[in-house]
Structure formats: structure tokens, C-alpha cells
A = this chain, B = another copy of it.
Amino acid sequence: MTDVVPLTDPADPRLADYTALTDVALRRRREPAEGLFMAEGEKVIRRALHAGYPMRSMLLTPRWAETMRDVVDSATAPVYLVDPELAERLTGYHVHRGALASMGRLPLPEPGELLAGARRLAVLEAVNDHTNVGAVFRCAAALGMDAVLLSPDCADPLYRRSVKVSMGAVFSLPYARLTHWPRGLAEVREAGFRLFALTPDAAARDIRDAVRESAGSRTALLLGAEGDGLTPRALAAADDRVRIPMSHGIDSLNVAAAAAVAFYALTT
């Protein structure tokens, strides 16, 4: 149990975790470096706690202090009460969900650990848009993938926007980051995974045929960023290139829809 501490000075050092949340470039550097991430809104805060992330502090506007009474009561970290204007001044935006928590990061598992336990894996190359990372995690978790591997240049799944779009799936689906790219992909294949690269390329195999043939084996699906798609190096590292059959002259789906269809195809 912790006291709720009303604060009124935006320069109070206890509020430092919450400053300039809209400055993406700054937060992108700062959050991993300082070992923190932001959970926004009641649902996400509860999910982060449930997943075992330690709370550094929480920032509430008065109307949320009551709704989140049980969270406050069980918190061991400080809880700060601020009015909505101060919250906006600090963070740079209107905090319409009225509750923010600064959470501590946990060490990521090693890729090898995930490879040992998973049957179906999503592997993301250079997905550097936070919304897309969040959307892919939500689909991967919902559709029964077991884990996610990220290339070194993928966006941070714990960035505020990724967390929100994922609906908290970034907390429930284990993930790791490969250090070497695309060399790390060899490790995936050596662990016994059949590595499929998803591409809109019409010369690739129909994903349905590829999945049928590999029934029973461990599979990893390699996905690239919207627009650029997978690099030639990543494509070359895969066992097979697969595509989702397209109609009506449409040449591609957006990355979240393509991922959803491919995950469904793999897990069905």
C-alpha cells in the first residue's frame, strides 16, 4: 500500500518519467536506455502488472484514483495525483485515459530460449512503425503463434503506441531480438524450423500449398515492413517464399492483414 501524493509542479523530478511523451525520437532513445516503458489507461496498466512488469510510479488524474483504487492499494511504487492540465503539460498531449504508469522493463529472453519452446514463430524484419508492430503482435497472439523474433532494427514493442495497438499482446506473447541480421535466421533453421518468407511476389508459392506440405513441422514466418517488404538477404535466408493468393488486381494487403491471414493459414 502506498500513499497518493498530489503534485502541482511540472518540474518536480518525481515526474521526470512522464515528460514529453509525444516526442517519439526522444522517447525511442530514452525508454530503453532508462529501462522503462509507459502503460497508458486502466486496462493496459492492469495487463502490464498482471504480466509481471514492476511499476516505477503511476500518474493519475483525480477521477481515476477512485476507479483504480485496488491498483493503488496494492502498489508499492509511488502514485502521483495531478490535475488533467498538468498531465497535459507534462506529457504533451491530452491524457484522455487519465492514468499513466511508468513500468520497468524485464530482460528479454535469448532467441535460443524462445526457439526451444515454440512451434510457430513470427519473425519481423525492419518493421519500424510502432502501429504495425503492435498490430502484428495482436494478430500473432490472437491467432496462436507462440513467439516473435525481431530483427535488430524493428521498432520497440513496448513503445506506448505499440502497446496500445497490440491491446496488451506485447505482454502476453514472448519475444526476443536477434543481434545479427540476417545471420540470426540460420539459428532459427538450425533449431528445426521451416522458415517461410511472406512476399507479394507472384512467383512465390501459394501459402496453402506450403503449409500443407510442412504439416507437423515447426514453422517460422518471416514478415517485412509495409512498402519495402523483405530485403533480398532475408528472402535468400528462407527455406521457401510464400504468398497469399490475390484477386481483383489488388497486389498486396497491409502488413497487419497479411500477417493475420498468414498466421491463420499456419495455425489451421
Of the listed stretches A75-83, A154-162, A257-265, chain B binds: A257-265
- Please report the C-alpha to C-alpha distance between residue A148 and residue B261 in the assembled complex, in whole angstroms: 20
Among B141, B143, B246, contact of A261 (Cβ-Cβ < 8 Å): B143
> Does the CB pair A250–B208 fall under 8 Å?
no
What residues of chain B lie closer than 8 Å to A245, measured between beta carbons? 144
Decide if A236 is an interface residue (CB 8 Å cutoff). no
- Those of A209-268 within 8 Å (CB) of chain B: 244-250, 252-254, 256-261, 264-265, 268
Among B246, B247, B260, B265, contact of A257 (Cβ-Cβ < 8 Å): B260
Of the listed stretches A95-103, A166-174, A190-198, chain B binds: A166-174
What residues of chain B lie closer than 8 Å to A142, measured between beta carbons? 244, 246-248, 250, 252-253
> Does the CB pair B249–A260 fall under 8 Å?
no
The complex is assembled from copies of this chain, and their number is: 2
> Does the CB pair A138–B250 fall under 8 Å?
yes
Decide if A149 is an interface residue (CB 8 Å cutoff). no
- Closest residue of chain B to A253, judged by CB? B142
Could you give, for residues 127-156 of chain A, a 1 whenever the CB lies within 8 Å of some chain B CB and a 0 otherwise?
000000001001101111000000000000
What are 26 contact pairs spanning A and B, CB under 8 A? Answer: A135-B254, A135-B257, A138-B250, A138-B254, A141-B247, A141-B248, A142-B244, A142-B247, A142-B248, A142-B250, A142-B252, A143-B244, A143-B246, A143-B247, A144-B247, A144-B248, A167-B250, A169-B250, A173-B248, A253-B260, A256-B257, A257-B260, A258-B260, A260-B261, A261-B261, A264-B264
User: Could you list which residues of chain A lie within 8 angstroms of chain B, going by C-beta atoms?
Assistant: 135, 138-139, 141-144, 167, 169, 172-173, 208, 244-250, 252-254, 256-261, 264-265, 268
